Amino acid sequence: MSTNFEQETAVEHVGGQRFVATVDKRWWVVRGPHGGYLASIALRALKQTLDDPKRHVRSFTIHYFDAPHEGEITIDVQIERSGRSITNASARLTQDDRPIGVALGVFSKPWTGPEFFDALPPEIGPLDAAFKIPNEGPNIPPFLGNFDMRWALGAAPYSGADEAIVGGWFRLEEPQIADDIVVATYMDAWPPVMFPIVTDPMVAPTLDLTIHFRRELPLPDTSADDHYIGRFYSHMSHEGFFEEDGELWTRDGVLVAQSRQLALSLPIRT
């Protein structure tokens, strides 16, 4: 039986290289759906078109043009180039003939090359000691109901902190093995890094999101119940734009994915 996440990111092939999907209101933030959720839908369409389990997604970028409303969207996929080892593909998302976004993916078999690793996982307390972010109730965005999130990095939202960092333990509320489709959603799951910096509520629509998948997924011996550690941070906000860098780690210190996005910081209009 498929999970809610699998059903809500499902795509249907309707001919040629065209797919349709249904944007579900359970993934709403403020003005539209969760960006990582849309990324997962686009990535699923790309993977189904490629249909080559030996070519894993290595890089995925999506630019968001406009927020779709609840209901059906169309995904048109194009294989831009396919060589002996690497495939480049694009996906264009539309709704009612209105452009929603464009995604690019790089898929490749493993290559042989120099190996090194000097990144350090965040120092973080145990899962049970972290603050569980409420995922239901008044004024809770619907998308949070899809996650079990335990805040353990960064200051409280709207506290006027000196450092733009958020993160902690998290997984989907309904346990599921973290494959690349799930990880695409994970890399945009946390509240924006601007939240601890500011003192008034705000929204932060994503303009573009790039994810680098550093491991072939799912990882060996992974469990559907596994929580992952997310660390998301920024070094600059200027003229309304801020960057957000992200890392996804396993409990055992394996770096699963890295991300960068550019977003706007906007006041909530009443």
pLDDT per residue as tens digits for the range 114-144 = 999 999 999 999 999 999 999 988 888 999 9
Question: Smallest Cα–Cα separation from 155: which of 198, 199, 196, 125?
Answer: 196
What count of Cα atoms within 13 Å lies in the side-chain half-sphere of residue 227? Answer: 19
Residue 199 CA to residue 256 CA, distance in Å, equals 33
Name every residue whose Cβ is closer than 8 Å to that of residue 53 and which is 6 or more positions away in sequence. Answer: none
Residue 112, CB-side half-sphere exposure with 13 Å CA sphere: 0
Question: For 215-236, what is the mean pLDDT?
Answer: 97
Task: Tell me: pLDDT of 270 over 60.
Answer: no
Q: What are phi and psi of 38, to 5 degrees?
A: -65, -35
- Beta bridge partners of residue 107, listed in sequence order: 57, 87
Neighbour tally for 211: CB within 10 Å:
28
Alpha carbons 86 and 81: distance in angstroms, whole number: 8
pLDDT digits (tens, 9 = 90+) for 24-41: 999 999 889 999 999 999
Instruction: For residue 6, count CB atoms less than 10 angstroms from its CB and return exposed for 0-12, middle for 13-18, buried for 19 or more.
Output: middle
Confidence of residue 43 (pLDDT cuts 50, 70, 90): very high
Residue 34: DSSP 8-state: -
pLDDT at residue 238 in the model? 96
Domains detected in the chain: 4-109+125-267 (2.40.160.210)
Q: Helix, strand or coil for residue 164? A: coil
| 185 and 144 Cβ atoms separated by less than 8 Å | no
Contacts of 264 (CB under 8 A, 6+ apart): 204, 205, 207, 240, 241
Selection from 234, 229, 159, 233 nearest residue 199 by Cα: 159
**0.85 exceeded by pTM:** yes
| CA-based end-to-end distance of the chain | 42
| Residues 176/3, Cβ–Cβ less than 8 Å | yes
User: What is the Cα–Cα distance from 96 to 34, expressed in whole angstroms?
Assistant: 19
